[in-house]
A and B are shown apart, each in its own frame.
Chain A
Amino acid sequence: MNDPAITFCGDDALRLSAPDRDERLARARQLRTTGDWLEVVPGRRDVTVQFDPLRHTPTEALAHLSHTLATPAPPPSRTLETVELPVHFGGKNGPDLADISNRTGLSEAEVVSRLLSEPLQIDMLGFTPGFAYMSGLDDTIEIPRLLQPRQQVPAGSIGLITGQCGLYALAGPGGWPIIGRTPVSLFDPVSDNPFRLQPGMQVRLVDAAAS
C-alpha cells in the first residue's frame, strides 16, 4: 500500500483516513462522481468506498482511488443549508437529560443552552435511514452510551454522547442517552426528498418551550 492514508476494509472496500471534516465530505462528493464505487460512505474520521471485485481487482481499485486522490478535492460548498429544528427538552421527551446533568455537574438548562449556542454540524448519516451524527458538547464532557440500549426510541429523539449529538430519524432501538425530541419529520419515504438532513448541513436546535 503506497499511501499510508488508505487501508483495506475487507476484500471489497478501501478506507481513506480523512480527519478534517470539510475535506472528508468534499472527498466523498468527489469519489461519488467517478462511477468507480458501489458505495461511498463518510465516517467520523474517514471515507470508505466499496468496489465490485468482478469489475476491478483490489490492485485496480487501489489505483483508481489513488488516481482520484492525486487531484485536489473540490472546494467545500459554501452554500451550506442551515436547518432549524424545534426541540422539546427533558421530561418524557428527554428522559436522560437529568442523568446527564447529574453526571456532568452542569444544570439541565446549561446542557441545553450549550447545545443551542451554535449550529451543530452534520458529520454523517448512518446506522439506520436518516440518523444524523452531529457535533455535540465539548469533547471533555464525558457522556457514555447507555449500559442497556432502549428497545424503542421515538422518531425525532435527540441523543447525546461524548463529543456527539445524534438525531434518530426513525423509531427503533437506541443506545444514546436521550435529551429531547423534535416533532419535525426527518425521514419520509414517500416524499420526493425523503431525507430532511444531509452530511455537511448545519442544524440549529431551538428550545420549543421558549417560543
Chain B
Amino acid sequence: MTLTILQPGVQATLQGTPRIGARHLGVPASGPADPLSMALANRLVGNASDATAIEITFGGAAIRFDTPVSFAVTGAQSALTFAGQVVALHAAHTAQAGDELHIAPARQGCRIYVAIAANIDANVFLGSTSTYLPAALGGHEGRALKAGDTINLASVRVIPSMETPEDLHPVCSNSYALRAVEGPDFPASARRMWDETFTATRRASRMGVELEGAFPHIPEDASHPSAAIFPGALQLPSGGRGFLLLADAQTTGGYPHLLQVIRADRHLLGQVRPGDRIRFLHRTQQQATDALRAKQALLSAWLPDFHL
C-alpha cells in the first residue's frame, strides 16, 4: 500500500517526533516546524500527535493515493482540490485508490501538513523518523521528497470524517506578535527592540528565518564562546540581521543570543514566511510558563497526547 508524490512543492519532507536528548552530540531536534498543525492533522485521522506526516513548504504540491485511505490537511492557508472537488483544511477525507490531492500555493503561512490514517514507512535515527536533511537522517532516504517517490504505508485505515473544532483552528497571518524573554546576551541598549517591527527575509529554511529591522548595535568582537542554543532563539550575527532558529537549528553557537521566543509560541515560527512582519512581546520566565500552561490547557481536551 502506497501513496505517490506527484509534485513536492518547494520542499516536502517526512517529519515525526523531534529528537530529544541528543543536542550534546550535535543532533538537532528536527520534527515539524509547526508541531501544533501537525498534531491537529494527525488527530483528525486518529494518529498519535507526533506520528510521521508529510510537511510541505508553501504548497504547490500534489499526492496520489494508491489505496483507499483517510487523510487530513492542516497548516498554511491553501486551496485543496481532492478528486476534482474543493475540500477544506482541518477535516478528514477518505481517498479511493487513484484519487489525487492537489494543494495550491499557500496564501498565508508557510507549512502544510498532510497526515495519513496509516503508518508511514520512514528511516529511523535515534528513535525518530524526522528528516534532517544536512545529515540525511530519518524520513524517506534522509532526503526531501521528489516527484515520483512512492511512500509505503502500513496499517492503512478508513475512518469517519471529522473536523477540528472551530476555536482550535490556528490563525494564519502576515503579522505575528511572538512572546519572548530576554536571552543571555540581551544588552541594555536593546530595550527598543520591544517596540520595533521586523520583517522576515527570503533567507528562510527549517534551520531558521532571517529578520531585518532595527536591531541593536553589537560590537564586532562580541562573539562568545560556543554555547548551547535552541529553537526559538533570536541570534544576532555580525551582519546586523537577526536569525530566528527553528526545528533544524544547530545545537551550539557563538553569536549573541538576544531573545528567546517562549515555548508556548514556538509552533508559530514554522508558519513565518518571507515578508511577514514580526514583533516581540516582552515576558518574564514566570509569565512564559503561565502562558505555556494556559495554552496547553486549551489544547489538551482535543489533543490529549500533545505537549507544546
Contacts and interface: CB of A to CB of B under 8 A. Distances in A.
B216 interface: no
B24 A170 contact: no
A8 B184 contact: yes
Interface residues of A, number: 44
Interface residues of B, number: 43
Contacts of B283: 11
B289 A57 contact: yes
A169 B26 contact: yes
Nearest to B287: A11
A209 to B, nearest CB: 29
Interface string A22-66: 000000100000000011111111101010111001110000000
A126 interface: yes
Contacts of B24: 28, 39-42, 124-126, 199
A42 B228 CA distance: 7
Interface in A128-171: 128-131, 133, 169-170
B292 A53 contact: yes
Given A42-B24, A43-B225, A11 B251 contact: no
Contacts of A42: 24
B188 interface: no
Nearest to B181: A11
B228 A43 contact: yes
Interface stretch (B33-41, B131-139, B156-164, B189-197): B131-139
B137 A189 contact: yes
A83 interface: no
B286 A43 contact: no
A39 B21 contact: yes
B194 to A, nearest CB: 16
Nearest to A48: B228
Contact of B226 (A8, A126, A170): A126
B226 A11 contact: no
Q: Which of A52, A54, A187, A198 has the most CB of B within 10 A?
A: A54
Contacts of A72: none
Q: Which of B27, B250, B252, B288 has the most CB of A within 10 A?
A: B252
A189 B226 contact: no
B26 A44 contact: no
Contact of B260 (A9, A41, A53): A9
A15 B184 contact: yes
B81 to A, nearest CB: 38
Nearest to A126: B252
Interface string A9-20: 111110100000
B285 interface: yes
Interface in B230-251: 230, 232-233, 250-251
B135 A128 contact: yes
B143 interface: no
Contacts of B225: 43-46
Interface of B: 20-21, 23-28, 125, 132, 134-137, 142, 181, 183-184, 225-228, 230, 232-233, 250-253, 257, 260, 262-263, 283, 285-286, 288-289, 292-293, 296, 307-308
8 contacts: A9-B183, A10-B184, A10-B233, A41-B251, A127-B252, A129-B28, A129-B132, A195-B25
Given A9-B184, A10-B184, A58-B288, 10 more contacts: A11-B181, A11-B289, A15-B227, A38-B21, A41-B228, A59-B286, A125-B25, A129-B135, A133-B226, A169-B26
Q: Which are the 3 A-B pairs with shortest beta-carbon distances?
A: A10-B260, A126-B252, A43-B227
